[in-house]
Amino acid sequence: MLVGKESFCDFHTIQEAIAVLEQSASNEMETLTILSGTYEEEVRIYRSYLHIIGIGQVEIRMDRYAKERDEAGEEIGTFATPTLFLGGSHLILENLTISNTAGQGEAIGQAVAVYAHCDETVFRNCTFKGHQDTLFTGPLPPAPKERLQFGGIHLKEHHRHYRQLYQHCYIEGTVDFIFGGATAYFEDCEIRSLRHHKNQTSYVTAASTPQGQAYGYVFNHCYLTAEPDITPVFLGRPWREYAKTVFVDCKMGDHIDPRGWDNWDNVANEKTVCYQEYNGPDEVATLRKQRVPWADCFEAGTEAWSKEQVFAEVTFWK
């Protein structure tokens, strides 16, 4: 199927094409090609076995935000805001830019670009743009911290595992802009911190890895960059107490706070999280002097953090 603005295209919006594809629940991989252009729409995909390819400059964008009010006057909350929602498995997305253009500020709150409630999914050469909570890698934690329910998009399917691979992607944001409970592997990605609207402390990750899950976030050969004149940024803080985040052979700009990690104002988290960095011997010696004592730094032993090891039971990443 072909989506684009031209008269010869099958559909002019992405969601129209998805509606047709979801009429049949097939285990055969379908391919959706999107021609260059800007698509201002919310895209909701529940289908599995789907390959989406963008040709040229393809941007999907919308501007929903957590503080926005619904018809009853209630705030819609974080998980009603994504520009793109993925709820299935066996998905491949290539050469797409997904943006939440709501901006930032106290009147905006969280604004998700991608809600990846999916398993065995590959993102290649994709760009994710937003500020607070840009990329959510499902699943949700068992319960919210501050409200009765998470709300947001209806979840038709719950997976046993949530395994995702991000290759040569660009992800930007301010606070907790990569967050969630998935086993997510980021390879050769640029992770860019934007300036907080009040230039306050920001955090790259906020994992909520379920207790007992072997892997959380793995960043392998990634590049952590930032806008100029930014307040020091932490590598992560735990959205839930068993958060796991590992950086392997990554290059980090001077914007990263020397302490590295934050406990989210809860000392108890320091005993349960798994925060690690693997680098060369000279870098490790320096990091051990600077990082918080409850995070670990090791000389590069990258075999344990290869895709073959992290995704040992599946082949989708190949």
Catalytic positions, written as ranges: 176
Q: What phi and psi values does residue 267 have, to the nearest 5 degrees?
A: -60, -30
Distance CA 169, CA 123 (A): 7
Half-sphere exposure of 277 (CA within 13 A, CB side): 26
Q: What phi and psi values does residue 269 have, to the nearest 5 degrees?
A: -60, -25
Cβ atoms of residues 228 and 260 within 8 Å = no
SS3 assignment, position 173: strand
Residue 296: partners with Cβ closer than 8 Å, 6 or more residues away: 275, 276, 277
Distance CA 195, CA 295 (A): 26
CA nearest to 236, candidates 273, 261, 264: 261
Dihedral sign for Cα 158, 211, 110, 194, please: negative
10 Å Cβ neighbour count for 289? 8
